[in-house]
Structure 1
Amino acid sequence: MTHKYTNALINETSPYLLQHAHNPVNWEAWNPEVLERAKKENKLLLISIGYAACHWCHVMEHECFEDDEAATVMNANFINIKIDREERPDVDHVYMDALQMMTGSGGWPLNIVALPDGRPFWGATYVKKKDWISILNQLSETYKNSPQKVEEYAQNLANGIKAINLVENQNELHLFTAEQLDDAVKDWSRYFDTFLGGYKRAPKFMMPVNLNFLLHYGTARKNEKVLEYTHTTLTKMAWGGIFDHVGGGFSRYSVDTKWHVPHFEKMLYDNGQLVSLYAKAYAATKNDLYKTTVEQTIAFVEKELMHHTFGFYSSLDADSFTETGELEEGAYYVWQEEELKKFLGDNFGIFKDYFNINGYGHWEHGNYVLIRDASDKKIARKHSINTDDLKGIINSSLAILDAERSKRNRPRLDDKILTSWNGLMLNGLVDAYRYLGNDSYLELALKNASFILENLVKPDGGLWHNHKNGKSTINGYLEDYASIIEAFIGLYEVTFDEQWLTHANILTAYCQKNFFDAESGMFFFTSKQDDYVIRRTIETSDNVVPASNSIMAKNLFRLSKLFPEKSYEETALQLLKNVQHNFDKNAQNHANWLELLLFFDQPYYEIAIVGENHKEKAKEIAGYYLSNTIMAATEKESTLSILQNRHSPENTFIYICEQGACKLPVPTVNEALELLRN
């Protein structure tokens, strides 16, 4: 196929950048050479940031970046830089903060106009073509006629971007108390939608970080209201249109209050975390809905997001081509009532009630997004059948729809492999194996871990961030190290192969050397070896994905239980103290930190198992929801101090320890569980 235009993005590997390689805009990728040229030519930077699965990014590309008139204005007055936010979260952090400071809100596409050295002075998300051309002409004229005014504004904004990211090293503070934590959660709960789950607003994001904390908090504090809210949310999400009932897996968020109509993109980072969350919730409740959700989500990831070498791809697009060749959001996923009647025949009546092919499930233009709002028992009772028969009818109906849907044009795939997101998915697989006991999940986890070691580890012991077409590129960020370390600790807990702890320790030491900032007592997001614009970011706020510093702090705490000779716990405590002043005013953006606080506040146990049957007993214990424990086990020998000198030829003993001090060993799992509960 021949193209009228081709720009420098043709040399990139990111699917998002390649989507723009034939725009008439003279796009270039973010790199130091382009920034140096901008300074030499004294040309403004036009920086546009998005990602492959972003619906509004596609809309703006079609309206503005594929348009010759708009491209002429852009090319004449700016050096145009296109960035995949998933490849360059370091740049995205800075300019998203800038946009929020300028406009009070954020999102993608993120469009920034900056001075040649990268200091921003204008920003917006989606802009229509007519307004886009007008704004760019105005900004260009302003810079030509009043450069000093623009420079002054940009410098003030740069100062603000630095200031909002400052973290002070807090040496004297007492730790946030249990009473303060209860008050913070109580204040946070004012936003809970206790009927539909999530928060009292639309759109609704799933926020697995928050739900993970609330499950732990509600269990540890025996707070039934918090647990009821958490399980309501988990149920409504799994019943909602945000979950793909036909093919498995979750979309990114719903546009409404009842989890019905999503923006249909499916992201690896959501699904990895949700596998972990639902597996834990299943361990806590034995609710079959949670188990099925885990199974179907992993099946989706294996089918749609897995490379043949067992690395995991990034996302599926929200948009797909209709039969008439038009890109349309959700086209792959929605159904018309008449086609459902045709495909399902006699089963349609039951299916209609189950998935609300009615006013509740209607989206727009005669399209339905499947959504549940009643239990199996209720639907079975209505149709005078038992629940097993109902499940059979629903499962066979969904299989028919899956086969029919496979004939449609599939959503576009973002096939880059990101280290951090693979860490989240690996951790999800580990938890799925731990709590559901399916050996195939451990097999897949080990294959993915091997992929990481073989393809994403650098010769100096550090990590790459990105892998595509057999090549790994971009120096790793703190999020890459934090998520891989977390997953490797979890992998040790289910295999007791100490190589995973060795790798976790090596990566932790690398972070301490290359990312830790002694002045703030925190980890930088980027390595000290890397260039940066305006500031070197310190990421502390948990969001849809937890902050890299909060994951790192939890990693250090957990490693300290197995390596008490290292200063890991001291560092974790310092990180926690440095951010805890935010907890009472903004608990929901520090949920992962709050779980670390629970680790410090509640008894935290090391479970040590030594003897011939150590794996069997460890697997049985691991199936329980024990969020305040770390497990170590061996048959005879180990390099871990907690396992040394404990071998008995006749018995497999279980030791319950706290801060290295162990109670008398017990031979049975039930006795060990009693010690953990007392």
Structure 2
Amino acid sequence: MPHKHTNNLINETSPYLLQHAHNPVQWEAWSEDLLKKAQQENKLLLISIGYAACHWCHVMEHECFEDEEVARTMNADFINIKIDREERPDIDHIYMDALQMMTGSGGWPLNVVALPDGRPFWGATYVKKNDWIKVLKQLSDLHKKDPEKVTGYAKNMAEGIQQINLVEHKTDTELYTLPKLDDAVQDWSNYFDTFLGGYKRAPKFMMPVNLDFLLHYSTSQNNENILEYVNTTLTRMAYGGIFDHVGGGFSRYAVDTKWHVPHFEKMLYDNGQLVSLYAQAYAATKNELYKKVIEKTVQFVTDELMDENHAFYSSLDADSLNEHGTLEEGAYYVWKKEVLKNILCKDYKIFEEYYNINPYGHWENDNFVLIRDKTNAAIAKKYSITVEQLNATLETCLALLSKERDKRSRPRLDDKILTSWNGLMLKGLVDAYRYLQNNEYLQLAQQNGNFIMNTMMKKDGSLFHNHKNGKSTINGYLEDYASVIDAFIGLYEVTFDTKWLNSAKNLTNYCIAHFYDNGSGLFFFTSKKDPFVIRRTLEVADNVIPASNSIMAKNLFKLSKLFSDESYAEKVNIMLKNVQDNFGKNAQSHANWLHLILYKNQPYYEVAIVGKEYIYKAKEIHQAYLPNTVLAATEKDGELALVQHRHIEHSTQIYICEEGVCKLPLTQTKKALALLNKTMVR
């Protein structure tokens, strides 16, 4: 069917931008040439940022950007720019900071009006049609009648955007101590919901970065209360509607306090990190629930988000077509009681009890979102059956629901491939293999690693950020390098193939050459080769995804243990000193950094295994949760200094070293694990 309107977004590859390609608004994609044109014509920029899986982005598109009256206002007075925040996080950072400075909060769709050179002076998220038209006319009139006032405000905003991202270089500061860390975690714990998990608020985000650190902290400090909180949160998330019990995988967040009703979009970055987190928690606890969550989530990712080259797509939309053919949030995932009864027949009663097809599980409009609140043992006891019988019944029920759900219209897929998010998923697969010992996960990890190495890496050693329809078009950001380096180090630790480690080292050196800021001792988000607007961002605060600088600091720390002749360790100390003032003020926004405080203040071991049985012995060690170790292994002498000159004929030796100084070698993994586990507790 021919479209009434087509704009220049039709030439883009981003699914989000293509969603807007037939709006009557004359959208353009961001480019340096476009800013030059705006300055030549002295036209304001209207910059609208979102992403393909964003529900409220779709709502505003329908109400405003598809409306011809709105389009006339926008086209007359503005150069209209649509940005996929996942493609251009560098621009999103700038305008999100601006929005938060202007309004005190942020979110998407992110709409700002800026001077022709990109300096913003007004911003909002979702705006209704009439309000949108009214405010745009007011802003346009103000710019025409009092341009000096607008320029003055934009100038102040630009200075503020620069100021809030400054990091002072500190040379004489002592590194953060464990007592300070204990105090920071204690203050942080005041926000914990110890009954339902997460924080005492709604909506609830899963925050795998925070839980990852708290798992490390609680086990290394022998803090039972924090460990119980972590396990409560992981269990409640796995029980909740935020986890797709039928098809696996997690939605982005829950709108309520009990993890029941999700914002139904499914993001690769959440699921990659959560696979890693649950795998580590499984290693620490051997909780079978965590293992099941990992298996179902990996299955979801491979079924729904993996292409033929073993690369991973970005997301599934929150919205899908309902039975009336209109887009509705969650339509693909929710159930009505009568439908469940008809499908499940004799097994419905147990299913109803298990997944709360009752007021606890009711959402709205007679729809239910599956949610658990009881253990398998409790349900089995009530129905006088074994846990095995219960599990078999539930598997049958879920298979029937999956078959039924396949008849529904599927959520829209954002099929662009992002290097950074693939790095997070790759790390998840590495950890899933490491702790569950499922060879399929290792095979998937190696295939994805090879895709990154062969497709997303340029001849000069740099990375692309995105890939779509066989093309890669955007230079990599620090987040791409950081997550891939982390994943490649992990791949080396389970395969001991030095190509992964050498690639991680080369990418690190590229970052030092092209992203490192001598002034702050941190890494810029964008390469010095690439242009920027207002500032070159230093990403420091951890969020749902850890800050690219905190990932880089951990990468440098691990590489310093494997390549002792490098200056990596010195850079880690500088980075920590320059950001650690924030740890006590806001620990939860620096959780990934806090691992380094534990690394620095407790024994951190380099484990070297040399001998014919190195793979077998490494697998035995891998099954334990040991966040304070890095592992190298080889059959005979290898490339790394850590494994050189340690080979003894007819024996496989395990060396436990600290700062390059090794204890007497061991031959039994049980003794090695006993020693390593002992050092986990302060």
| 2:544 match | 544
Q: Which amino acid aligns with 1:88?
A: R
| Counterpart-to-counterpart distance in 2, 1:459 and 1:473 | 15
Deviation at 1:370, TM superposition (A): 0.1
| Counterpart-to-counterpart distance in 2, 1:584 and 1:674 | 33
| 1:20 match | 20
TM-score (norm 2): 0.99
| Counterpart-to-counterpart distance in 2, 1:407 and 1:212 | 37
| 1:324 match | 324
Q: Which amino acid aligns with 2:220?
A: A
| Counterpart-to-counterpart distance in 2, 1:334 and 1:482 | 37
Could you say what secondary structure the match of 2:69 adopts? Answer: helix
TM-score (norm 1): 1.00
| Counterpart-to-counterpart distance in 1, 2:503 and 2:453 | 9
Deviations 1:191-226 (A, max 9, x none): 000000000000000000000000000000000110
Q: Which amino acid aligns with 2:19?
A: Q
Q: Is 1:8 matched up with 2:4?
A: no
| Counterpart-to-counterpart distance in 2, 1:22 and 1:645 | 66
| Counterpart-to-counterpart distance in 2, 1:123 and 1:382 | 56
Deviations 1:423-478 (A, max 9, x none): 00000000000000000000000000111111100121100000000011100000
Could you say what secondary structure the match of 2:465 adopts? Answer: strand
| 1:55 match | 55
Deviation at 1:396, TM superposition (A): 0.6
Q: Which amino acid aligns with 1:324?
A: H
Q: Which amino acid aligns with 2:420?
A: S
Deviations 1:567-624 (A, max 9, x none): 1111011111110000011000000000111111111000000000000000100110
| 1:586 match | 586
Describe how 1:157-168 pairs up with structure 2 within 5 A.
157-168=157-168
| Structure 1: segments with no counterpart, 5+ residues | none
Give every structure 1 segment of 4 or more consecutive aligned residues whose post-TM-superposition deviation is greater than 3 Å: none
| Counterpart-to-counterpart distance in 2, 1:195 and 1:123 | 38
Deviations 1:151-187 (A, max 9, x none): 0000001000000000011111001110000000000
Q: How many residues align?
A: 678
| 2:355 match | 355
Deviation at 1:530, TM superposition (A): 0.6
Identity %: 69
| 1:518 match | 518
Describe how 1:192-341 pairs up with structure 2 within 5 A.
192-341=192-341
| 2:443 match | 443
| Counterpart-to-counterpart distance in 1, 2:461 and 2:643 | 28
Q: Is 1:85 matched up with 2:93?
A: no
Deviation at 1:674, TM superposition (A): 2.3
Q: Which amino acid aligns with 2:173?
A: L
Deviation at 1:673, TM superposition (A): 1.4
Deviations 1:314-354 (A, max 9, x none): 00000000121100000000000000000000000000000
Deviation at 1:68, TM superposition (A): 0.2
| Counterpart-to-counterpart distance in 2, 1:426 and 1:157 | 39
Q: Is 1:369 matched up with 2:369?
A: yes
Describe how 1:324-473 pairs up with structure 2 within 5 A.
324-473=324-473
| Counterpart-to-counterpart distance in 1, 2:253 and 2:170 | 37
| Counterpart-to-counterpart distance in 2, 1:170 and 1:392 | 60
| Counterpart-to-counterpart distance in 2, 1:338 and 1:668 | 59
| Counterpart-to-counterpart distance in 2, 1:75 and 1:325 | 31
| 1:529 match | 529
| Structure 2: segments with no counterpart, 5+ residues | none
| Counterpart-to-counterpart distance in 2, 1:500 and 1:596 | 23
| 1:652 match | 652
| Counterpart-to-counterpart distance in 2, 1:164 and 1:487 | 31
| 1:674 match | 674
Deviations 1:230-254 (A, max 9, x none): 0000000000000000000000000
Deviation at 1:663, TM superposition (A): 0.1
| Counterpart-to-counterpart distance in 2, 1:65 and 1:18 | 13
| 2:108 match | 108
Could you say what secondary structure the match of 1:592 adopts? Answer: helix
Deviation at 1:525, TM superposition (A): 0.1
| Counterpart-to-counterpart distance in 1, 2:459 and 2:117 | 32
Q: Which amino acid aligns with 1:394?
A: L
| Counterpart-to-counterpart distance in 1, 2:58 and 2:286 | 42
Could you say what secondary structure the match of 2:632 adopts? Answer: strand
Deviation at 1:16, TM superposition (A): 0.1
| Counterpart-to-counterpart distance in 1, 2:294 and 2:119 | 44
Q: Which amino acid aligns with 2:170?
A: Q
Deviations 1:482-518 (A, max 9, x none): 0000000000000000011110011001000000000
| 2:478 match | 478
Could you say what secondary structure the match of 2:650 adopts? Answer: coil
Q: Which amino acid aligns with 2:158?
A: A
Deviation at 1:650, TM superposition (A): 1.6
| Counterpart-to-counterpart distance in 1, 2:601 and 2:577 | 13
How large is the Cα RMSD of the aligned pairs? 0.5
| Counterpart-to-counterpart distance in 2, 1:449 and 1:110 | 33
| Counterpart-to-counterpart distance in 2, 1:214 and 1:579 | 19
Q: Which amino acid aligns with 1:32?
A: E
Q: Which amino acid aligns with 1:412?
A: R
| Counterpart-to-counterpart distance in 2, 1:306 and 1:58 | 25
Could you say what secondary structure the match of 1:121 adopts? Answer: strand
Q: Is 1:488 matched up with 2:485?
A: no
| 2:506 match | 506
| Counterpart-to-counterpart distance in 2, 1:157 and 1:31 | 22
Deviation at 1:675, TM superposition (A): 2.2
| Counterpart-to-counterpart distance in 1, 2:575 and 2:32 | 32
| Counterpart-to-counterpart distance in 1, 2:318 and 2:354 | 25
| Counterpart-to-counterpart distance in 1, 2:674 and 2:248 | 38
| 1:601 match | 601
Deviation at 1:671, TM superposition (A): 1.2
Could you say what secondary structure the match of 2:444 adopts? Answer: helix
Deviations 1:530-575 (A, max 9, x none): 1110000000000000000000000000000000100111101111
| Counterpart-to-counterpart distance in 1, 2:615 and 2:473 | 38
